[in-house]
Structure 1
Amino acid sequence: MKLLFKRTLFAFVLVFSSFFISHSVEAIGLSPAEVKINNITNGMSVKKTVFLSRENAADEQAYRVKVSGEGSKYLSFPEQYVRFTRGANSSAFNFFVSPVAAPNGLYHVILDFEGVPVDEKGNPNESSVSVMPGVALVLTFEVTDQEIKNFSVSTVYVENSEVGQPVVFYFDGINGGNVDAKPEKIVVKMTSQSDPSDTRQVEIPGSELEAVAPSQTSKITFSYKNPLKEGTYYANVQIYADGKIIREQSKIVVTIFPPGTMSQAANFSALELNDVEFSLGEYVKIVGKIENTGNIPIEPTFYVEILKDEKIIDVLRANPKILLRNQNTDFELNYQITEPGDYTAQAHFEYGINKTEKKTAEFFVKTEVQPSYYIGYVVVGLIVLLLLVLIIKKIIRKDEDYDDYEDDEDYDDEEESNSSGQQDNNGGPKFVA
């Protein structure tokens, strides 16, 4: 009872102090001001993001993060400061909640964002005391040792399309549990508005859908790829999870335009490598960045040609991804180097009947071999050597045992001979030839 009273009192103090701080200070705002995480388990890590905002963006500012509360030791931060660049009205702050060996129960933490002075380059003065008013975030999280499933979805949206192009749907997947979750399947029925008898249905399996991490919300996209004629259609969508329909939405209006009405367009913005010089056996990470700049969703595929001495020696291909309008993403491929020399990675994207321009990135491979490259061969060699040693030792032991056996036989024969001689000398019968 005392522990429960202390935790309740502490939670009240945190909420009250957060309310007081956030409402008594007008210089900076926080959204959301309170974060709750349910059903987190030990060994799990949940990422959360909050946004700090300000009205006056004329100067650069920095805010130091301080934490207090019984669960503060389970928090980690990629950055210890929130920085506002000149002209920026908001700044994101990420933190992770990662309990380890934490007892089951409810934990309360308060995160104080304290303003600190910055130098000419906008870097915070780490040794200074707080000189500007700040704001506080109240965090509450519950630790449990039970596996909990709690998955739901938001309203389903659709993008208009044109003849010959897929129809793309999307919705938010909300995972309130502590295990990965996604729909088991999605059933889509398309009915022509002008001819209700023209009905087509497809089923999208869960294997084609992205999973949502525990305590996270993320966008899930899927596409209806059966060809549709020009016209207006009603879409009926059924989303299944745990063997039942968790959401059904009907009469979603979809318009299919003539070919070319809604142009597809994309911008291949950058091609990046993780380095420009490598050793034999290392992997080159090749990243292509693309943005959908057209009026309809696209499904680009990333291609990379590896050239050496101006000849193509390999072609890499990444799995396609669906991009909504104004959405951007990164594609990543890895290539292991087996020969030294100068190389060129030549990349492009393909979507629909379109191709982006090609971009190139050069890299050099040294003759030195990374120790890890031959580690597999070394291990196999050691195993073979060990087996040979064991076999040789076994053969030698057999030879020694055989020699010992022959020595024993000779010894037994000698003993028998001696015994016979002793019998003759003791008055036994003598045989004369």
Structure 2
Amino acid sequence: MHYYAYELAHTVLSPLRVGVSGLRSILDMPFNPFAMTPYGRHLAAACEFFENVTRRYGKPDFGLKTTRVGGVEVDVHERIVAATPFCNLVHFKRDENALTGIRHDPKVLIVAPMSGHYATLLRGTVKAMLPDHEVYITDWSDARDIPLAMGRFDLDDFIDHIIQFTRVLGPDTHVMGVCQPTVAVLAAVAHMASIDDPCQPASMILMGGPIDTRRNPTAVNKLAESRSLAWFENNVISTVPLPHAGFMRPVYPGFMQLTGFMTMNLERHMNAHVDLFKNLVKGDCDSVKQHQDFYDEYLAVMDLTAEFYLQTVKTVFQDHALPEGTMTHRGVRVDCSEIRDTALMTIEGERDDITGIGQTQAAHDLCSNIPEDLKVHYMQEGVGHYGVFNGTRWRTEIQPRIREFIRAVEYERGDLPNGRTARRMHHPAVAVSPV
């Protein structure tokens, strides 16, 4: 019923939006003297404000057209190199003709979270990695656009996608899990190690993820534990209505996830929109654009399949199955101690209110057979959850450490047959915070 009420609200508001849009067009006419009056400016600001808070926000573009490699600006083209009904593996292909000399930059698979926002939320992550890496990202599909005939998609399928895409990229791939998918990345690498897969990743970088939510639990963790799985199924799961292609698919709607995000910091979001109105009245275009750029991304949400959402809640947040040693993938227990040849780096934010300090670092205890000098942990001061993978601290402090970590792994594996056996790292650049 939630979804139908949501669609009904948009339908009811549609005629009003048309009227408001027409009024705004009149007020924007250059020869309208009324538009220059204080009342006219307030009315025009109110019209734009109303349109911003009531419109649908579609999937944004990555918009990464160029990057700088070795001081040279080169074009970037998005290429889909593998696809399933639920995800595209996107390669940000740099123009080889513009590159100076032959480059053998490391392959990095960025596993984007499937937690309500599109993969474009990691635009800043990709942008910072592009100059020194061949970057690929999992671009998850919106469940409401996937016909029910395409089948289910749960946490096991998510793990399978990571394994499949890692094999597509081949040996010596570095896998980076951002936030929610860190658990799936660790499980995928453990599975590949257990079968001695020749495409085991050279390294895995786990950033701000809920490996063990019993450590410094946050409000999000406590909410997941305080409710039964049946409560989540009865209160947040809906079926996709017409006219969407995924009609009748059970989903966790993106707008409900967004509501949860917004209410966690409701006062801040309300103040931001009050400031938007004031800046519209003043004509402060820079501030308005900055606000709109952020919220165009933040308010663009996607639906998750119900089975993926519910299995994640139970496995990760309620049963703590991975740190307890009871997590299974396709009926086989996930054993992180099987991982021996994949280097591990974990990154946390000091002010993260989604994933508490220590939750990601827990991966080091689980991966007991990775040599200690193949493990690195780094805690970034002064950043919250979003700042772990976006923003100034990400670009200037976190990403350079990841770059040096990957380079050190590449250096140590470079003279080994097929890169199959990792050796211990003694590169001083990666010794930022040994475990």
TM-score in terms of structure 2 length: 0.20
Which protein, 1 or 2, shows the higher relative CO under an 8 Å CA cutoff with sep ≥ 6?
Answer: 2
Higher Cα Rg, which structure: 1
Query: Greater share of strand residues, 1 or 2?
Result: 1
Query: Greater share of helix residues, 1 or 2?
Result: 2
TM-score in terms of structure 1 length: 0.21
